[in-house]
Amino acid sequence: MFQLAHSELLFLLLIIPIIIVCYWLSNRRKKSLLKEFGEHSLMEELMPERSKTRPALKLVILLTALAFFILGLAGPEFGSKLQEKKHRGIEIIIALDVSNSMMAEDIQPSRLERAKQAISKLVDQLQNDRIGLIVFAGEAYTQLPITNDYVSAKMFLSTISTNSVPVQGTAIGAAISLATRSFTPDYKGDRAIILITDGENHEDDAVGAAKAAAENGIVVHTIGVGLPQGAPIPLESQSGQKNYIKDSQGNVVISKLDEAMLNEISAAGNGLYVRANNTQVGLNTIFEKIKKMNKAEYQSKVYSEFENQFQWPIGIALVLLLLDVIILERRTKLSDKFQLFKV
């Protein structure tokens, strides 16, 4: 495993192209000045010791040495051992509704985007806890298995859209069941499912799934995203014009928050129901409750014993600088005899 202790120092490499441009401008000026003294061929005969290639060769060596010196300053480190590290935390699985109704704009900029923003902020607050992501519409899929890799969690979260699940619908029960099966089997601490949806369940027995989760010691919290009066579901055409989804009679479909359903689910799952609005989604309220849950110890594998190996690039840089000193810009009788630097 490789990493840099001070990766920001790599910006110093921008000095190299600046030096190359300065060298090119200097050479151009020298050629211009030589032309003022006479013909090029005549000037070449008057300066037999002048080398055309050595200054460029010395520049390449010098810039390579500079690059290795900067790499040494950045502190290259190598992890030589994969070690198990112990943590204490809880396990959380977020089940996010990605059906078309989540594109309604009664919560700005949309129900889905607002939920994603809130989840991202929640991930930033986690410390040693493990998180998993499930997306659902007509079916439920694992977007991210349970992990304490928060960088990956935010990366996977950013890719979520209404296209993440090919089958439309709102199978809340399937999402809860999948989340129940997705926790670490031998984990001894408390576990929680956070269901984020507008509550329009058309597919299965979501309340029954929440009861089954509670029987397994898993708390099911629900967050209702949307407003009770509802909003139309935007559908962007290929021309970029915004239309709205209509039913078979040609009427615009209004997606409404089903708070009664979400209250039933959270009650069956021994959890809390929170309604999101345009100022807050409600994850912080639930997270405060989750932080009071019992944590358990678990292990994760990480690379350890990172050792700084700065001496190798610095050593190479010094050798190159020594070589740069040895190579003279002008030709000598000794170099002509051995042809050491003939190009």
Inside any domain, residue 83: no
Do 114 and 58 share a domain, yes or no?
Answer: no
Inside any domain, residue 56: yes
What would the DSSP string read from start to end of 294-341? PPEEEEEEEEEEEEE-THHHHHHHHHHHHHHHHS-SB--HHHHHHTTT
Do 103 and 10 share a domain, yes or no?
Answer: no
Task: Give the model's pLDDT for residue 304.
Answer: 54
Inside any domain, residue 101: yes
Task: Give the model's pLDDT for residue 199.
Answer: 84
How many independent structural domains does the chain possess? 2
Cα–Cα distance between 314 and 39 in angstroms, integer?
45
Cα–Cα distance between 103 and 80 in angstroms, integer?
47
**Could you tell me which residues come within 8 angstroms of residue 266 by beta carbon, excluding any fewer than 6 positions away?**
210, 220, 221, 222, 272, 273
Range of the domain at 142: 88-300
Do 123 and 192 share a domain, yes or no?
Answer: yes
The answer to whether 80 and 291 have CB atoms below 8 angstroms apart is: no
**Could you tell me which residues come within 8 angstroms of residue 224 by beta carbon, excluding any fewer than 6 positions away?**
197, 198, 199, 257, 258, 259, 262, 273, 274, 275, 276
Residues above pLDDT 70, as percent of the chain: 83
Task: Give the model's pLDDT for residue 331.
Answer: 55
Give the residue-averaged pLDDT of 213-241.
86
Amino acid at 128: N
- Coil, strand or helix at 258: coil
**pLDDT of residue 34 exceeding 80:** no
If you ran DSSP here, which 8-state letter would residue 35 be given? H
Do 292 and 331 share a domain, yes or no?
Answer: no
The answer to whether 135 and 159 have CB atoms below 8 angstroms apart is: no
Task: Find which of 35-49, 210-224, 231-245 is predicted with most confidence, using mean pLDDT.
Answer: 210-224
Do 11 and 59 share a domain, yes or no?
Answer: yes
Inside any domain, residue 203: yes
Residue 264 or residue 239, greater confidence: 264
As a dihedral over the C-alpha atoms of residue 13, residue 17, residue 22, residue 27, rounded to 10 degrees, the angle is 130
Structure tokens at 39: 């013909």
pLDDT digits (tens, 9 = 90+) for 161-217: 999 998 888 899 999 999 999 999 888 889 999 999 988 766 788 999 999 999 999
Task: Give the model's pLDDT for residue 169.
Answer: 86
Inside any domain, residue 343: no
Cα–Cα distance between 338 and 132 in angstroms, integer?
68
The answer to whether 222 and 197 have CB atoms below 8 angstroms apart is: yes
Do 295 and 236 share a domain, yes or no?
Answer: yes
- Coil, strand or helix at 243: strand
Can you say how many angstroms the Cα of residue 296 is from the centroid of all Cα atoms in its chain? 27
Do 157 and 37 share a domain, yes or no?
Answer: no
Do 55 and 92 share a domain, yes or no?
Answer: no
pLDDT digits (tens, 9 = 90+) for 98-153: 999 999 999 889 999 999 998 998 898 888 899 999 999 999 999 999 998 898 89
Do 276 and 170 share a domain, yes or no?
Answer: yes
- With bands split at pLDDT 50, 70 and 90, how would you rate the model's confidence at 18? very high
Count CB neighbours of 301 within 10 A.
Answer: 9
Lowest mean pLDDT among 6-10, 62-66, 288-292, 307-311: 307-311
pLDDT digits (tens, 9 = 90+) for 47-66: 555 667 788 888 999 999 99
Q: How is the beta sheet containing 140-147 ordered, strand by strand?
A: 140-147, 130-136, 91-97, 191-197, 218-224, 273-275
Residue 79 or residue 179, greater confidence: 179
Do 323 and 202 share a domain, yes or no?
Answer: no
Structure tokens at 222: 């629900």
Cα–Cα distance between 39 and 53 in angstroms, integer?
20
Task: Give the model's pLDDT for residue 228.
Answer: 86
**pLDDT of residue 232 exceeding 70:** yes
pLDDT digits (tens, 9 = 90+) for 283-295: 888 888 888 888 8
Do 282 and 331 share a domain, yes or no?
Answer: no
Q: Is the pTM of this model over 0.75?
A: no
The answer to whether 81 and 305 have CB atoms below 8 angstroms apart is: yes
